Chain A
């Protein structure tokens, strides 16, 4: 098993890891909402006062969540306030990136509408980010007081240690399990998005660069979710053996499976077929493969 990162515990690495976990959580928990056109249209119709008011209300909710179940040991109200601001920032970044990649931003849409859409979408995304940071972080080892970096050192030590001799004969079993979980999780999350018109809309209103960017983002977020964000279950994943259990080969293999699952879902639902243009078909498959790949990553992590 190849180590993903050096197990050095540094404050910067810990903080980046917490941000990454929030980022991944924001995507995983909110992607079906992000892929909903009614959410985009709210940017055109919702009054500014309402948007700002609900944004503030969501901030208070996030502060409450962070205070009740904050990630840091010994957290206080100030930590909760600061974490909620960071979650909001994550939400804004994720929303802006997705609005651009989905082709919703740009064209005839003005800056005002783009900002409104980003702030509205940031509300559920930031709640997902807060949840991921506070509830789904891995806290293995003696006591909860250790930092991510310390836990990371343990994880890598476990991965490289003598307690886990090579199990080449059983590696195919782990690979098959990963493929199965990718299909399972992908169908689970993908089915909440696949039957909607948004996939067709995203495919038609986007450019080829939107599709390429979506592919890169899907690969990146899947990798970060499984191997860098220190979600619950990451240590076990790092300890798995076999070529396809290495981070990047596994990420690429899982994404290839996600593309297949996405294509099958769209074909099953009647959205694609032999009569459809190839570029439009590919754009739809890639658009749906994003939630499918994240669902698969979440399933491999949890199960």
Chain B
């Protein structure tokens, strides 16, 4: 029987099931787009940048001052900065910044064992997360 010939109760049930299905499908697609956020800049455009500002010798160690700057379009969380001697991965120490808003700067200090070498220290962002 065609749609108009079906009993009213049957049409009501069919309509309810259809609307629930539609809500599920559209809800999923909206959630998918929302979590993906294609309108926001790509993560690769985020640029929390680290620059070693000063390297000092102190008490047989090396004190390295560095600056963390977020020049990207988004705030970032959990930025892990790794400081090490060039070519000596075993010397690496890490410092974590819990939240760096976009356009902001943070300063950090790392202390490595041993006196400063001829090469400048290696300062890099090991990992970061979007909030």
On A, residues with C-beta under 8 Å from B are: 10-12, 14-15, 19, 48-49, 51-52, 55, 73-76, 78-79, 82, 85-86, 88-90, 92-93, 110-112, 115-116, 118-119, 145, 147
Question: CB within 8 Å of A: which residues of B?
Answer: 1-3, 5, 7, 9-10, 12-14, 17-18, 20-22, 24-25, 28-29, 31-33, 35-36, 38
Residues in chain A near residue B38, CB distance under 8 A = 48-49
Write the chain A residue with the least CB distance to B27.
A92
Known A-B contacts A74-B1, A145-B1; A116 and B9 likewise in contact (beta carbons under 8 Å): no
Query: Which B-chain residue is minimally distant from A92 (CB atoms)?
Result: B28
Interface contact B24-A92, CB-CB below 8 Å: yes
In the complex, are the beta carbons of A48 and B33 less than 8 A apart? yes
Given that A12-B13, A15-B14, A86-B17 are contacting pairs, would A112 and B24 also be in contact in the complex, using a CB cutoff of 8 Å? no
Q: Across the interface, do B10 and A11 meet the contact criterion of CB distance under 8 Å?
A: yes
Q: A48-B32, A86-B17, A115-B32 are in contact. Are A93 and B24 (CB under 8 A)?
A: yes
**Interface of chain A, helix or strand or loop or mixed?**
helix
User: What are some 21 contacts across the A-B interface (CB < 8 A)?
Assistant: A14-B10, A15-B13, A48-B33, A49-B38, A52-B29, A55-B29, A73-B1, A79-B3, A82-B18, A85-B18, A86-B17, A90-B21, A92-B25, A111-B31, A112-B35, A112-B36, A115-B28, A115-B32, A115-B35, A118-B28, A119-B29
B22 touches A85 (CB 8 A): yes
Residues of A within 8 A of B18 (CB): 82, 85-86
Docked-complex contact B2 and A110, CB < 8 angstroms:
no
Bound Cα distance from A82 to B36, whole angstroms = 28
A78 and B25 contact, CB distance less than 8 A? no
CB distance from B12 to the nearest CB of A (A): 7
The interface residues of chain B lying within 8 Å CB-to-CB of A51 are: 32
Contact A116 B32 (CB under 8 A): yes
Chain B residue nearest to A18 (CB atoms) is B17
Minimal beta-carbon separation of A186 from chain B (angstroms): 32
